[in-house]
């Protein structure tokens, strides 16, 4: 076994260890395959839901193997995989590609896929067509949509076709140019009241769960208690029914993004840098490959 092979095996071990630490109190070990019904039971049993993003086969396999409840194939792939400044540029075809890779890797987790910007806003027929493409072409289990009252018609149409929908309120990255900033949302009474109203509308429209992003913890707790569907928070405190983080952020692969709510379980950026630097040194010094590493 080469030093580099050993390093990547070790990294895989640490990734699984870190994910296990993230989800250690929230895994329903009785479930062979997590479904939307499983999440509802977890809320009823006060068992927290652990969700992480994944965008490719290799990391999704590690995340699923560690026992994660939900994998979100997020449009954040636009940022962490493609290097875009926002989530807006990623296309439906690209989301299907990422989702297909993840679905091939998993055996237990529920896979939810973001409907990307421009594939559901303003036209419920286009929204349904987009959701159907994701389900048919990727094999995913559900879609996620950002927005409240303004997307209710699309949510209802998609749910009526038998496709599970996860909602998303609070900070909505697809609307970043409308908000103009990534600051905490719904701090004022008017916006907080609208968020609670939208949450109830999404529940009534048939959403099976709701992401609450970057809102005051007290508000997130109130909304979670108000709803009978599970809430999953990111930067929304501990009162939600579950938590989600971007995998590349929590593993320390991306280092530019450091909000208060982010807990880094590894610092893979430094580890990978060190490994690649050592590989370069070994190649240039003729240390690699040695006699045991050739035929």
Query: What tokens does 276 get?
Result: 């690649």
Interhelix angle 57-65/3-23, rounded to 10 degrees, is: 50
Among the listed residues 217, 181, 241, the one whose alpha carbon sits nearest the alpha carbon of residue 49: 241
The residue with tokens 């091939």 is 104
Dihedral sign of CA atoms 199, 200, 204, 210 in order: positive
User: Catalytic one among 149, 213, 291, 293?
Assistant: 213
3-state SS, residue 194: helix
Q: Helices marked H in 173-267 — which ranges?
A: 176-179, 189-205, 217-226, 247-250
What is the rounded CA–CA span in Å between residue 33 and residue 103? 13
- Tell me the C-alpha distance between 242 and 134, whole Å: 24
SS (H, E, C) 148-190: CHHHHHHHHHHHHCCCCEEEEEECCHHHHHHHCCCCCCCCCHH
Degrees, nearest 5: CA angle 235-240-242: 85
CA distance 95 to 97: 5
Q: Tell me the C-alpha distance between 239 and 76, whole Å.
A: 24
Query: What does each C-alpha distance from 9 to 1, 85, 265, 279 come to in angstroms?
Result: 10, 32, 18, 15
Does 47 qualify as catalytic in the annotation?
Answer: no
The residues carrying an active-site annotation are: 213
């Amino acid at each position: 076994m080469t030093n580099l092979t050993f390093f990547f095996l070790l990294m895989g071990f640490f990734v699984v260890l870190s994910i296990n630490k993230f989800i250690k109190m929230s895994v329903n070990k009785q479930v062979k395959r997590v479904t939307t019904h499983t999440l509802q039971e977890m809320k009823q049993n006060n068992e927290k839901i652990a969700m992480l993003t994944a965008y490719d086969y290799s990391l999704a396999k590690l995340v699923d193997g560690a026992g994660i409840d939900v994998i979100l194939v997020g449009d954040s792939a636009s940022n962490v995989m493609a290097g875009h400044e926002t989530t807006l540029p990623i296309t439906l075809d690209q989301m299907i590609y990422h989702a297909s890779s993840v679905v091939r890797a998993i055996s237990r987790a529920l896979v939810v896929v973001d409907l990307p910007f421009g594939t559901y806003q303003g036209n419920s027929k286009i929204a349904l067509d987009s959701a159907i493409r994701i389900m048919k072409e990727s094999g995913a289990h559900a879609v996620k949509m950002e927005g409240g009252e303004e997307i209710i018609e699309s949510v209802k149409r998609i749910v009526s076709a038998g496709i599970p929908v996860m909602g998303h309120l609070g900070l909505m990255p697809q609307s970043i140019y409308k908000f103009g900033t990534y600051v905490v949302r719904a701090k004022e009474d008017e916006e907080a009241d609208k968020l609670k109203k939208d949450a109830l509308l999404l529940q009534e429209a048939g959403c099976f769960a709701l992401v609450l992003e970057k809102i005051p913890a007290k508000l997130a707790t109130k909304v979670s208690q108000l709803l009978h569907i599970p809430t999953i928070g990111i930067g929304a405190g501990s009162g939600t029914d579950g938590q989600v983080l971007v995998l590349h952020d929590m593993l320390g692969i991306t280092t530019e993004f450091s909000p208060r709510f982010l807990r880094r379980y590894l610092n893979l950026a430094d580890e990978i840098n060190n490994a690649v630097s050592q590989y370069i040194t070994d190649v240039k010094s003729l240390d690699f490959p040695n006699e045991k590493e050739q035929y």
